Structure 1
Amino acid sequence: MIFCLPGDKNRGRLKMDNGISNGIMGQVIPYTDVTVSRLIFAVIVLIAGFILVKILVYIFRRGMRKTKLPELTTQFLANFLSILLYVIVFLIFLKSLNFDVDSFVVGLSAIIGLVLGLGMQDTFTNITAGIWVAAIRPIDTGEVVTVNGQTGKIKSVSIMSTELLTPDNQLITVPNKLVWGSSIVNMTRMPTRRVSVDVGISYSSDLEKAIRIALDLMKGHPLVLPDPEPAVVTTELASSSVNLQLRAWTNTEDLWGVKNDLTAGIFEAYGREGIEIPFPQIDVHVKETKE
């Protein structure tokens, strides 16, 4: 007859539980040579890596804000760093699953070479163009520009493309190669801009009086800068009018408000002072012929 002490029973039950646990963790996932324990470890590494990337990118952004680099460059570098770190985390994840990462990198390089040979050069051209845009800064976040025929405010510049927000709230995405490879008109980079307002007066109107009224209007506007001085020039002797152009300088942020005020103001001032703004007209002469 065999007697078992209570402690012996507990130790036996513990060994049995450990055996079951080790058996489950040591099982190989079907169609792979990866064990359950290795898979769990790899998933933990992947999640921890993603969290670490978020933290590192956040620290990088905070550090870059303390420098004199513009927001556009900071944003571009942060995106580039984020992608690079995610690739590293993914490679570590594969290594945790006992994959041959070295051969994977070699294979990936071969695939990239094949993709380039099949016409994906545009992808890398866009990346290179994005680096040049971020480094030289012909545009910056928040500026209003015309790029490749599209006009809008710069919202962001990513590795592949630049986003413009139009005045009517449309989002336009332009590939970076088109941004770098085309003329860029930056409307808000300079602190001051010239406002131009075109108006035509009839040939019977007093030209000197019309010019004097326009100058008084511009000089009396509180947002028109005194230097350079406002000016009125005769731009054309058209078929039915003498065309004038009002030219006034103002701060860039006040441009559209001043333009609207001068356009409405010159119309009212000419109407009040008897300066005629003619409609386009055609004189038709009918000649009768005798039969």
Structure 2
Amino acid sequence: MSYEIMEQVIPHTEITVSRLTFAIIVLVLGFVLSKYIVHAFRRAIENTKIPDLTIQFLAHLLSILLYVIVILAFLKSLNFAVDSYIIGASAVIGLVLGMGMQDTFTNLTAGICIASIRPIDMGETVTVNGQTGKVKSVRIMSTELLTPDNQLITIPNKLVWGNSIVNMTRMPTRRISVDVGVSYSSDLEKAIGIALGLMKMHPLIQQEPEPAVVTTELANSSVNLQLRAWTKTGDVGTVKNDLITGILKVYTREGIEIPFPQLDIRIKEIEVKASEKQTVEQSIIV
């Protein structure tokens, strides 16, 4: 009785129950085996010197290829002409390219270039296409950045590969710049000396290259100085905050004025004849 049920044909198709059951088993086992192969692949290459970004990209690419193979095996188990599907897919690809919709393939190629050449890497903070964040992943079609306030930004790979990339954490050290203005009446040499002393006493600031203070501008209401110091890339935020708060405290303590923006307006008195004075006053009242 069970044999007869398994050999029954599903209505409106030429597929028997036994063939459908076998195809479903192939599909389930195929997906499970694909996950195992991808996991084994990742474990095998994690012990090599291949960067994490490249490993993630290759594993994602392998999983997509295996899923495609599993789906084709599923269709083949149902006695579909898989060859015709492959030919049809090739025709669709040709049509897509002919219609000028080759962005998918451009993104795929750009993703391969990013993963192999690595202008960016996992965990690095970068600015790409006007967006700044930490690199979370590089997928087949897009790159994901995570902003400091935990927003996820997805950028097509072609815009990553085709634009300038500012990598803020690739180099081991970076120079910090802090701008401050002092009044024209302040002792400029004293202000510079105090700023240099502040930087030389900071434990996270490197003394080679030496810290420096340069005059950047003679502005309307202040002489603008810039504090320049080198530190480890991971300490940039801490050191910059310490310099901003520190220079304010030490200048206040030492009497170095940091002026507010101001504009002086001088009114010059004009002498007028007695006969014209009344007319001027009347004009003002009006």
After superposition, the C-alpha distances for 1:207-237 in whole angstroms (9 at most, x for unaligned) are: 1111110000000001011111101011111
Q: Alignment RMSD, CA only? A: 0.9
- Number of matched pairs: 272
- Cα distance in structure 1, aligned partners of 2:75 and 2:225: 72
Local SS of the residue matching 1:250: strand
| Gap runs ≥5 in structure 1 | 1-19
After superposition, the C-alpha distances for 1:36-73 in whole angstroms (9 at most, x for unaligned) are: 10100010011010010000000000011011011100
- Cα distance in structure 2, aligned partners of 1:51 and 1:154: 29
- Cα distance in structure 2, aligned partners of 1:59 and 1:239: 66
Aligned to 2:19: 38
Q: Which amino acid aligns with 2:266?
A: H
Aligned to 1:143: 124
- Cα distance in structure 1, aligned partners of 2:13 and 2:100: 35
Matched, 1:231 2:212: yes
Aligned to 2:283: none
- Cα distance in structure 1, aligned partners of 2:14 and 2:97: 34
The normalised TM-score by structure 2 is 0.93
Alignment of 1:252-267 (within 5 A): 252-267=233-248
Q: Aligned-pair distance for 1:74?
A: 0.3
The normalised TM-score by structure 1 is 0.92
Q: Aligned-pair distance for 1:132?
A: 0.4
Aligned to 2:67: 86
Aligned to 1:96: 77
Aligned to 1:155: 136
Q: Which amino acid aligns with 1:168?
A: D
| Gap runs ≥5 in structure 2 | 277-286
Q: Which amino acid aligns with 1:204?
A: S
Aligned to 1:130: 111
Aligned to 1:242: 223
Deviates more, 1:281-290 or 1:223-232: 281-290
Local SS of the residue matching 1:243: strand
Q: Aligned-pair distance for 1:168?
A: 1.0
Q: Which stretches of structure 1, 4 residues or longer, exceed 6 Å deviation after superposition?
A: none
- Cα distance in structure 2, aligned partners of 1:116 and 1:40: 38
- Cα distance in structure 1, aligned partners of 2:161 and 2:269: 64
After superposition, the C-alpha distances for 1:6-51 in whole angstroms (9 at most, x for unaligned) are: xxxxxxxxxxxxxx22211111111111111010001001101001
